[in-house]
Structure 1
Amino acid sequence: MTSNSASACTWGAASAQDAARACVERPHLAMMGLYLGGFIGLFSESALNVALPQLTKVFGITASLAQWMVVGYMLVIGLVLPFAGILMKWFRTRSLTLFAIGAFFVGSLMSALAPSFGVALSGRLIQGIGTGLVLPIMFAVVLEVFPASQIGGAMGLMSLIIMSAPAIGPSLSGVILGYFSWRALFFIFAVITAVGLVFTAHYLVSPFELTRPPVDAASCVLSCLGFGGVVLGFGLSSLLGWGSPAVIGSLVVGVVALVVYSRRQLASDSPVLNLRAFSNKRFRVSATLVMISFGITLAAMYLIPQFAQNGLGLTATLSGLLMLPGGIVNAGVSLWSGKLYDRVGAAGPARCGFAISCIGAALMLFTSTDTPIVYLIAAHVLLMVGVPLAMSPCSTNGLSALPEEMNADGSTILNTMEQVCGAVCTAVATGMLSAGDAVGTSAGLDTCAAATMGSHYGFTFVLILAVIGLLLSLGMRKASR
């Protein structure tokens, strides 16, 4: 049974005051399409990295051109995400979700059947549209369909999706590519999104009132230039280098456009993205901690396989598999930390999480070319305990601090910051890795030793992120919830 009425729904609620805002008898069924869409969107973000060498051989292209399957995908997500909030005010949530998951489905089939690289890339860009819409919709809807006492657990499940999907991407895709071609990955994406379409069509409700505010065309252009420029600039930096005119130009245009865009949103009565959410200190601090957590995850996910292959000499398949225990632990902690928020709030879990992340990152600095695989797995597991322990409670804490009418904007802001931070942190980690490798090579170290030094440079960056997160979490109120 579902209803879009404003009356309180007491399904699963401890009291009328605890009731969900939208009446849904089985909220997890209502969310299932979004869960699947969010998981496969983020899974594909890292899973495709393993398939790039096959793409270069099949289409006869360079590695730099093949990287656009990843860079282009992140670019489109960065362009689409900021518009999700206002789109939810113009279109019914169910229709918008069907469009988003449908776009990912169509893009997956295009890439799977692509006769040329251009068609495969076009399909990948269409996938980005779907992911850019699904993520903020998922966060916004969960606050409406679950009773207040269950929101922490529900957010924990979404944290599991966000954190574990990219973490297990290299492992599972490595296994799939060991038996099938790269096209199989896209067919699997299509099958999962098809299931998501069925769940969405049958169970998802549209809990938001359609206010249809006026849309400022200038803000839309500035949003594309700002978020697109920053993501493109950092994405290209690992391919062209920081001194490239294309990188510098993209970043300058992006930063300037974001400054103008932000001023325009704060002065507007009908902003494309309501940045006034940042005036709420609880949301501001929590959003920053979520961003740092996501940055730690993506940077570590990039650095550990690089060290395993280039520093320890492991195969690509084994490098992916050694990350699987951390991915499994990540999933369990994500669920548990969401329920922990319902009991103790966000401050305690956030502090413990960042402290554990500091220990895991510090252990990475003591690795060498002779480091046992078990040691590397243990350090990675610590990171995968620490990050979700902080991230899920902080996500819930930040969004719960906003009034109901700002839910869509808050979820859009969180997801936009995560994707932008992910691109930035991955690029910085890549640069640090290359810089350390170059220093080691110039010092006369062998290939493995130089790669290990580069990894240490990269993990120093991860440790700095974890320390910053820990210091910021100390300023949270103990009963923050």
Structure 2
Amino acid sequence: MSSIDKNSIQTKLQHPYLALMGVLIGGFVGMLSETSLNIALPSIMKAFSIETGTAQWLVTGYMLVIAIVLPLSSLLTKHFSTRGLVRFGLWIFIVGSVISALAMDFAMLLAGRMIQGIGTGIILPLMFSIAMRIFPPNKLGAALGVAALVIMFAPAIGPTLAGLLLGVLSWRAIFWSFIVFLIVAWLFMEKNLTNVFKVSKPKVDWLAICLSTISFGLIVFGISFLSKNMPVAIVALVIGLIFLAIYIRQQLHADTPTLDFSVLKTSRFLTGSILVMIDFGITLSAMYLLPMYLQNGLGIAVALTGVIMLPGGIVNAVTSFLAGRAYDKIGAKIMSRLGFLISVIGSIMFILSNSNSSIAYIIIAHIILMIGVPMAMSPSQTYGLNSLDQYQSADGSAIINTFQQVIGAVATGIATILLSTGQASYMANGGHSEALAFTQGAHYGFTFTMILAILGFLIAFKVKDHGGDQIKH
């Protein structure tokens, strides 16, 4: 049984969506922040005279902190009030945004980003756990669908919003815009949200906290450091994986686990979780590469880059909404396989693009990818969570959210390595065009995105259901 649910207060609210709105907006900003900065990386690199590998830490460092904080979600709900947690999560993100917006050097900017990660790590799991307490069973599916829509739509629309801001202002405006959304979220929270978790203040498992922090930290660090110092990166990865194994074993034998990893013994949940993580890796790697490819490879202005990515973002939102409804009728088997297959096609189109490709071609490729990704995401996640009972589902959701961030950071790190490798290969073979070098690097990166999509398509054949289920209560 999930420790979250055992310590929860059954709460009936007249307007549950208003109560959840503050957390939804906060989660939207957190996920928006994962990709909105990608389009500004070239500008930031010029402003602080840094390389791609260094700038990439603004993405992986952010997700690293989220991955460290997320496993603590259950513990935090037992030690602090719901309103207090949400309030802290929103305001710590605001503090990080202010620091980043005023950054005088890269170190200050990175520090602000990592502080933002604390806020997202707190808010993200609360979207799901609060929804599970304030919505009745017959309306819970729709509420979780809205939360899933936030997670999928925000990263897709992030580059567009950032591009529009960069067209008239500087990259600092992106961070100031976060603050506007977060203040609105805070006002909704203060007016509508009630405390839904019982504060029991159990004994803190400091060993579990240390193990999770070390394991996730070293894994993401190792991936991000591969392009700079291979031996150090491999050592970090190996040690991180060892600590992760120790952490999982420790949690399986704990009386009150921070995360109940026993849910991974349920084959349907394990399959659904793997598919969700692969799908998230496709999203983060593509959304990391595409804005920079448009600017540095195809020479498109930053404002136009955002406009080019807008149709795909809209299609992503519509598909996410429709995919949730389609699951109830036809199940996850067809949806997941078709979604990954379409993602393969979109990835191949990007690999085949070149300096002569039209804007229309790029938009179509992006739209195809943005149809495939959400088509696989929502059914896969619902398929996995529906295999768990009411109490396990909170732990299942926390595990998926935690490893999503790790996979996202890893996918971004690998995409960065391949991007740099492709550029270096072009120059080593006598190339002199920086645009063509970046194009080749982007092709290397999109090949990784394609491999993920193919892997997801193959694993999707383990999905055996023929119709949608209802979450068990």
2:466 equivalent in structure 1: 478
Aligned counterparts, 1:273-312, within 5 A: 273-312=259-298
The within-5 A match list for 1:181-192 is 181-192=170-181
Find out whether 1:329 has 2:315 as its counterpart: yes
**Cα gap change, 1:122/1:147 in structure 2, threshold over 3 Å: closer, same or farther?**
same
1:25 maps to 2:11: no
Higher alpha-carbon deviation: 26-35 or 149-158: 149-158
Report the Cα distance in structure 2 between the residues aligned to 1:137 and 1:365, rounded to whole angstroms. Answer: 38
TM (normalized to structure 1)?
A: 0.87
Unaligned residue ranges in structure 1 (runs of 5+):
7-19
Give the corresponding residue for 1:13: none
Identity %: 45
Could you list the runs of 4 or more consecutive aligned residues of structure 1 that deviate by over 6 angstroms after TM superposition? none
CA distance in 1, matches of 2:443, 2:43: 29
Are the counterparts in 2 of residues 157 and 334 from structure 1 also a CA contact under 8 Å? no
The structural deviation recorded for 1:321 is: 2.6
Partner of 2:406: 420
Residue aligning to 1:194: 183
Partner Cα distance (2:183, 2:301) in 1:
34
Output the amino acid matched with 1:429. A
CA deviation string 1:196-231 (max 9, x = no partner): 111112222343455554332111111110011112
Question: Counterparts of 1:31-430 in structure 2 under 5 Å?
Answer: 31-52=20-41, 55=44, 62-63=50-51, 67-114=56-103, 119-210=108-199, 212-237=201-226, 240-241=227-228, 243=230, 245=232, 247-430=233-416
Structure 1 CA distance for aligned equivalents of residues 392 and 194 of structure 2: 19
Residue aligned with 1:174, SS: helix
C-alpha distance after superposition, 1:265-313 (max 9, x if no partner) = 1121211211111112221111111101110011111222343334433
Question: Is contact 2:93–2:118 with CA below 8 Å preserved after alignment?
Answer: yes
3-state SS of paired residue (1:215): coil
Residues 57-114 of structure 1: per-residue CA shift (max 9 Å, x gap): 66x5644665544343222212111111222233333322222112112222333345
Summarize the Cα distance change of 1:366–1:56 in structure 2 as closer, same or farther, 3 Å threshold.
closer
Letter in 2 for 1:151: L
In the TM superposition, what whole-angstrom CA distance separates every residue of 1:176-203 from its partner, at most 9, and x where no partner exists?
Answer: 1232233332222112111111111222
The residue type equivalent to 1:41 in the other structure is G
Superposed CA offset, 1:39-60 (max 9, x none): 11121222223445555666x5
Partner Cα separation in structure 1 for residue 166 and residue 333 of structure 2: 42
Residue 95 of structure 1 aligns to a residue whose secondary structure is helix
Read off the aligned partner of 2:299 and give its amino acid letter. Answer: G
Q: Deviations over 1:397-447 (max 9, x none)?
A: 322332233333222211111111111111122222333333334444553
Give the Cα separation in 2 of the matches to 1:284 and 1:213: 29
Single out whichever of 336-345 and 271-280 deviates more from structure 2.
336-345
Q: Deviations over 1:143-199 (max 9, x none)?
A: 333343443433332232212222222221122123223333222211211111111
Summarize the Cα distance change of 1:112–1:319 in structure 2 as closer, same or farther, 3 Å threshold.
closer
RMSD: 2.7
Residue 77 and residue 151 in structure 1: after superposition, are their counterparts in 2 closer, same or farther (change >3 A)? Answer: same
Match of 1:10 in 2: none
* 8 Å Cα contact 2:28-2:150 kept in structure 1: yes
Stretch of structure 1 that moved more, 27-36 or 156-165: 156-165
Question: 2-side partners of 1:201 and 1:424: how far apart?
Answer: 36
Residue 154 of structure 1 aligns with an amino acid whose one-letter code is: A
Inter-partner Cα distance in structure 2 for 1:119 and 1:359: 40
SS in 1 for 2:24: helix
Residue identity in the other structure for 1:77:
I
Deviations 1:209-264 (A, max 9, x none): 55554332111111110011112222344xx525162x334323321211111111
**One-letter amino acid of the structure 1 residue matched with residue 112 of structure 2:** G
Write out aligned runs for 1:432-443 (5 A). 432-443=418-429
SS in 2 for 1:271: coil
Of the structure 1 ranges 124-133 and 357-366, higher mean CA displacement relative to structure 2 is found in 357-366
Change (3 A) 1:353 1:100: same
Match of 2:451 among 456, 464, 473: 464
Deviation at 1:331, TM superposition (A): 1.1
Does the Cα contact within 8 Å between 1:352 and 1:386 map onto a contact in 2?
Answer: yes
Matched residue pairs, number? 460
SS of structure 1 residue aligned to 2:466: coil
SS in structure 2 of the partner of residue 169 of structure 1: helix
8 Å contact kept, 1:153–1:342: no
- Secondary structure of the structure 1 residue equivalent to 2:462: coil
State the AA in 2 paired with 1:478: H
In structure 2, what is the Cα distance between the partners aligned to 1:69 and 1:295? 17
Is the 8 Å Cα contact of residues 354 and 387 (structure 1) preserved in structure 2? yes
